[in-house]
Structure 1
Amino acid sequence: MGFLEIRNTTKSYGSVEILHDIDISVEEGEFLVLVGPSGCGKSTLLNMIAGLEDITSGEISIKGRVMNGVHPSKRNIAMVFQSYALYPNMTVGQNITFGLEMHGTPRAEREKALAEVARLLQIDHLLDRKPGQLSGGQRQRVAMGRALVRDPDVFLFDEPLSNLDAKLRVDMRTEIKKLHQKLKTTIVYVTHDQIEAMTLSTRIAVMYQGYVQQLGTPKEIYDTPANVFVATFMGSPAMNIIPAHVVMREDVPHAKITDADGNEVLLRFSQPNLAEWDGREILLGIRPEAMTDPEGADRQSANIQTLTNRVSVTEPAGSDTFVTMVLGGKEVVARMRADALVRPGQRFDFAANMEKAIAFDPKTEKRIAP
């Protein structure tokens, strides 16, 4: 049994079910990220763990204790909100220790806990200021301090970085990661940002339309997505999804695709089980970094396939150059070295790492497992 157990949990408003049979087991010290687009149910699920939303059916337990119907104040959880939710008339120190004071914690213990948390978050010099005198990043540290000072069983983060600018968001992401590595706390973190999900988590639950589409480590989610939604949601730029047909050549399955000029392209698969799909349509998934220039191709791969195609657009991006072409009637993005000599309109030799290619069933959009 996990430290935090979510079993067959649903949530309905009237006759409309918005969360469907959620099953997630979180181990002690794990960093679970709930990620998905707006409206997928991730914040609702977090609120159910916190006790801010009732559970329609199923069960949520923490440390073996069932939480259904237990008041939020009795769950020993701490929540960090997107809006910080600081009291404007209190100092930073008062904001951090207010919860302890309400629980009757002696003054000496409060001051000791405040000093430890302030030092950990490097906000010792801010304790006498009011929230209105702080930057966004400083307010977020105070909100985190208020959660940390209580030493809860589970920390819940609801899109805590979404109000920060891009650079500060990256900095705070690193701080949260370091904090988790140091304290080994159990965290459930909600975000719509897949970069946050990949960099922070030990495991990710990708959600869409009230269902958990896939639960796994960042590597599992990225390398072996369960379906087309996960494949295209996780990763920037997104995985290319290309209509193709499976054809057999010398008993080896190949993907048959048309290029920008209508020519037939054959790419050899590394998945032998696709032989049973001979003559059938599939969706070929390949990430931009697996479609590159020959000099930049992975030297460790045993299956680099070359194809020549016309370049539509080039986008220099500092350390990389992104190249757009058309394959199978779809725009496909290739990720190349910054100094790759490629220009719009030319026919260019691309290198596809077919060891990284994934086949999806076009009807169910689920991955065809090896």
Structure 2
Amino acid sequence: MGFLDIKKATKTYGTVRVLHETDISVEEGEFLVLVGPSGCGKSTLLNMIAGLEDVTSGEIAIRGRRMNDVRPAERNIAMVFQSYALYPNMNVAQNMAFGLEMHGVPKAERDKAVSEVAELLQITQLLNRKPGQLSGGQRQRVAMGRALVRQPDVFLFDEPLSNLDAKLRVDMRTEIKKLHQKLKTTIVYVTHDQIEALTLSTRIAVMFGGYVQQLGTPKEIYDNPANMFVAGFMGSPSMNLFPAKVGMENGEAVARISLHDGETATLPFASGNAMAVHDGREIVLGIRPEAITDEDGADRNSKAIHKLESAVEVTEPAGSDTFVVTQLGGKEVTARFRADVEVKPGDRFPFAVNMEKAVAFDPETEMRISG
């Protein structure tokens, strides 16, 4: 049993089921991120944990206590919203203390809690200001401070950084991460931004169509996606997915891939001959951009670097890297090169492919193939 247990939880509106049977167990101090595109059910699940939405079937429990029929105010959770939801007529200190005041906490205790949290968030100098006098990042800190002073069992974050500009969003990600490492609080965090999910979480639940597609650590999700949706959604740029066929050459299982000019390249699988049982099978091969690179940029520790030549279609300088687009299996594929590699559109260039990082999928079911 975890600290927060979601057991076969579903949500239905009329005849439409927006969340199918969901099982997630969150340990105390864990940072779980629910990530997925709009309409996937992540915010619905968060609202069910908060008590803002009823559970149609199944159960949600915190510290072993069933929460289905417990009012939101009695769940000892704190929620940080996308909109901050600060009272404009109150100053920062009053906003932070409001929840404590509603729960009958004495003023001396409220003041002490506000002072400690303000110091932690480095907003002590803002305590006498009104929300209208604050920047977006400062308002977000105040919203977080209002949640922190209550010392809840679970913190719920609903896309809290989506209203911030790009640089401030990165800065606030770092602040939230540092805060979690320091306080070791239990957090459930909703976002559609997969970079936020990968950088903040201890575990990620990738959601789509009302289902949890995969639940795992950021490394598990990134390196071993359960299906093609997870592979294509997580990572920036996302995993390259292109058709190939399993074959055998010299007793070795290989992926046969058609190239831009009609020729065929073969790439040996790194998993011994585990893929040999799939000889002749059409697959979708998944390889991340950083596993397709220039020869000198390839992973020196890998024993499965294989070369293939292909025509360069587009180059995209990106500061520390250059992204190079080619075609494999009739699909555009993005490779990540070092910034100083001399390469231009029209070149026929040797690409180094790390087959230790390759993943095979069934084109019909879109599920990962073991092997």
What is the correspondence of 1:52-201 to structure 2 with a 5 Å cutoff?
A: 52-201=52-201
Q: Which residue of structure 1 lines up, in the alignment, with residue 276 of structure 2?
A: 275
Quote how far apart the aligned CAs of 1:262 are.
Answer: 0.9
SS of equivalent to 1:34: strand
Question: Using the alignment, how far apart are the partners of 1:96 and 1:206 within structure 2?
Answer: 32
Quote how far apart the aligned CAs of 1:369 are.
Answer: 1.7
CA RMSD after TM alignment: 0.5
Quote how far apart the aligned CAs of 1:276 are.
Answer: 1.5
SS of equivalent to 1:55: coil
Alignment-mate amino acid for residue 84 of structure 1 = Y
Alignment-mate amino acid for residue 110 of structure 1 = R
How many residues are treated as equivalent by the alignment? 370
Question: Using the alignment, how far apart are the partners of 1:369 and 1:118 within structure 2?
Answer: 50
Question: Using the alignment, how far apart are the partners of 1:240 and 1:226 within structure 2?
Answer: 15
Alignment-mate amino acid for residue 195 of structure 1 = I
Quote how far apart the aligned CAs of 1:29 are.
Answer: 0.2
Q: Which residue of structure 2 lines up, in the alignment, with residue 337 of structure 1?
A: 338
Quote how far apart the aligned CAs of 1:274 are.
Answer: 1.3
Question: Using the alignment, how far apart are the partners of 2:40 and 2:274 within structure 1?
Answer: 34
Q: Please identify, of 140-149 and 360-369, the stretch whose mean Cα deviation from structure 2 is larger.
A: 360-369
Quote how far apart the aligned CAs of 1:280 are.
Answer: 1.3
Q: Which residue of structure 1 lines up, in the alignment, with residue 229 of structure 2?
A: 229
Q: Which residue of structure 2 lines up, in the alignment, with residue 203 of structure 1?
A: 203
SS of equivalent to 2:313: strand
Q: Which residue of structure 1 lines up, in the alignment, with residue 350 of structure 2?
A: 349
Per-residue CA deviation, residues 22-59 of structure 1 (Å, 9 max, x unaligned), is: 00000000000000001100000000000000000000
Alignment-mate amino acid for residue 102 of structure 2 = M
Quote how far apart the aligned CAs of 1:184 are.
Answer: 0.4
The 4+ residue runs of structure 1 with deviation greater than 6 A are none
Quote how far apart the aligned CAs of 1:207 are.
Answer: 0.3
Quote how far apart the aligned CAs of 1:223 are.
Answer: 0.5
Alignment-mate amino acid for residue 277 of structure 1 = H
Per-residue CA deviation, residues 85-110 of structure 1 (Å, 9 max, x unaligned), is: 00000000000000000111000000
Question: Using the alignment, how far apart are the partners of 2:203 and 2:251 within structure 1?
Answer: 38
Question: Using the alignment, how far apart are the partners of 2:120 and 2:321 within structure 1?
Answer: 37
Question: Using the alignment, how far apart are the partners of 2:318 and 2:122 within structure 1?
Answer: 34
Question: Using the alignment, how far apart are the partners of 1:94 and 1:219 within structure 2?
Answer: 41
Question: Using the alignment, how far apart are the partners of 2:250 and 2:261 within structure 1?
Answer: 27
Which stretches in structure 1 are left out of the alignment for 5+ residues? none
Question: Using the alignment, how far apart are the partners of 1:277 and 1:251 within structure 2?
Answer: 13
Q: TM-score, normalised by structure 2?
A: 0.99
SS of equivalent to 1:284: strand
Per-residue CA deviation, residues 109-132 of structure 1 (Å, 9 max, x unaligned), is: 000000000000000010111000
SS of equivalent to 2:185: coil
Q: Which residue of structure 2 lines up, in the alignment, with residue 251 of structure 1?
A: 251
Question: Using the alignment, how far apart are the partners of 1:312 and 1:259 within structure 2?
Answer: 13
SS of equivalent to 1:132: helix
Question: Using the alignment, how far apart are the partners of 2:170 and 2:93 within structure 1?
Answer: 26
Question: Using the alignment, how far apart are the partners of 2:253 and 2:359 within structure 1?
Answer: 13
Question: Using the alignment, how far apart are the partners of 1:263 and 1:140 within structure 2?
Answer: 55
